[in-house]
């Protein structure tokens, strides 16, 4: 890494964003270390998927900066944004494969869309990516013919087709049986290390998450509740972090939605 290369591939600096008049992220500052696997976790509704959308330029911040490799995505025009997106790969929650395309055509799609490579080279790249996820011989199948775990792996092959700098995974473990879940987790770790990627994934599967992550960010109610290593998050005594990491049913994140007392609601002493 040269002296001018930022140590973090992605940074949010005092970023605020929301939908309508409601702020989902409020003055958030976080960083995604280059070359590492970062887990973005926390209670539901904390702003995790919104964070991915901001990183991909799908949404623009109300204020603050959304930096990718030192460049602010916010002011970019469409051409500049597309150039940045070509350096990113994305695995959507349920794979998001094109139903009318074969496995091969799904993985080839970004190569045909964003490059002028000849078809023989595209074929070789697609087969290499499918081989990396263990599905080279599934190339002729249609999405309706593969399992949920296979669909996730095909989605990963498509996400890495352009050899991106950053791969984002939105709930890569959801809906998977224990074997498929372990396969997906190992793939994220192995591909990150073997390809020199920077990986960011959103997940609620804490056991697998903390096994493969280098860096952990916990979002809650639009704020960064924690940011640091796996060892640090396990040792944290912050009430919310402790509740979340130890899967406690009650704590700062409560079972009951905030409400008036039962006495007030029913008009009698209970």
pLDDT digits (tens, 9 = 90+) for 231-267: 998 988 888 888 888 877 777 777 677 777 778 788 7
Q: What is the pTM of this model?
A: 0.85
- Looking at the structure of the chain, the number of domains it has is 2
Residue 172 binned pLDDT confidence (cut-offs 50, 70, 90): confident
Same-domain check for residues 154 and 122: yes
Same-domain check for residues 152 and 104: yes
Sign of the four-CA dihedral 254, 255, 259, 261: negative
For the chain, the farthest-separated pair of C-alpha atoms sits apart, in whole angstroms, at: 78
Closest CA to 83 of 23, 183, 4, 162: 162
- Residue 233 covered by a domain: yes
Write the CB contacts of 15 (distance below 8 Å, at least 6 apart in sequence): 25, 27, 28, 29, 54, 61, 63, 64, 65, 66
- Residue 269 covered by a domain: no
pLDDT tens digits for 51-71?
Answer: 989 998 888 999 999 999 999
The distance of Cα 258 from the centroid of its chain, to the nearest Å, equals 30
Q: Is it the case that residue 4 has pLDDT exceeding 60?
A: no
Residue 22 binned pLDDT confidence (cut-offs 50, 70, 90): confident
Same-domain check for residues 169 and 157: no
* Structural domain containing residue 147: 95-163
């Amino acid at each position: 890494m040269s002296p001018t290369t930022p140590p973090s591939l992605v940074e949010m600096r005092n970023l605020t964003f929301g939908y309508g008049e409601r702020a989902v992220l409020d003055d958030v500052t976080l960083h995604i270390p280059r070359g590492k696997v970062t887990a973005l976790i926390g209670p539901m509704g904390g702003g995790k998927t919104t964070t991915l959308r901001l990183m991909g330029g799908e949404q623009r911040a109300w204020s603050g900066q959304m930096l990718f490799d030192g460049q602010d995505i916010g002011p970019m025009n469409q051409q500049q944004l597309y150039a940045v997106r070509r350096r990113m790969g994305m695995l959507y929650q349920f794979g998001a494969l094109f139903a009318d395309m074969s496995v091969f055509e799904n993985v080839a799609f970004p190569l045909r869309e964003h490059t002028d490579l000849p078809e023989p080279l595209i074929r070789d790249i697609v087969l290499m990516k499918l081989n990396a996820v263990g599905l080279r011989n599934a190339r002729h199948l249609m999405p309706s013919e593969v399992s949920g775990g296979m669909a996730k792996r095909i989605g990963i092959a498509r996400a890495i087709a352009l050899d991106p700098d950053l791969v984002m995974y939105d709930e890569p473990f959801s809906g998977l049986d224990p074997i498929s879940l372990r396969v997906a987790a190992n793939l994220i770790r192995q591909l990150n290390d073997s390809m020199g990627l920077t990986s960011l994934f959103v997940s609620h599967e804490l056991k697998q998450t903390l096994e493969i992550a280098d860096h952990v960010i916990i979002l809650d109610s639009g704020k960064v509740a924690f940011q640091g290593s796996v060892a640090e998050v396990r040792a944290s005594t912050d009430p919310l972090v402790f509740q979340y990491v130890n899967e406690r049913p009650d704590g700062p994140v409560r079972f009951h939605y905030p409400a008036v007392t039962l006495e007030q609601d029913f008009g009698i002493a209970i």
